[in-house]
Amino acid sequence: MAATCAICGKGPRSGNNVSHANNKTKRRWLPNLQPVRIITENGTRKRIRACTSCISAGKIRKAG
């Protein structure tokens, strides 16, 4: 399962861990994805993984 938001498409970002001795190793920042049940246009319920910024912004209509 890919670590991408089903709403905005936000995915992993890459960068470096930097130690006190300035050694650099690769690392990834993953988005904060949460499983949510939504109501689709035709009224059915569907489970997706959405990032918390989309949930708090109200971009999805959650199923109660």
Per-domain residue ranges of the chain: 13-57
pLDDT given for residue 62 in this prediction: 83
Q: What topology is assigned to 13-57 in CATH? A: Ribosomal Protein L24e; Chain: T; (2.30.170)
Contacts of 20 (CB under 8 A, 6+ apart): none
d(Cα 2, Cα 18) in Å, to the nearest integer?
26
CB 35 within 8 A of CB 62: no
Q: Percentage of residues in the chain with pLDDT exceeding 70?
A: 98
pLDDT at 47 over 70: yes
| Average pLDDT value for residue range 36-62 | 92
d(Cα 24, Cα 43) in Å, to the nearest integer?
50
pLDDT classification of 63: cutoffs 50, 70, 90: confident
Contacts of 40 (CB under 8 A, 6+ apart): 46
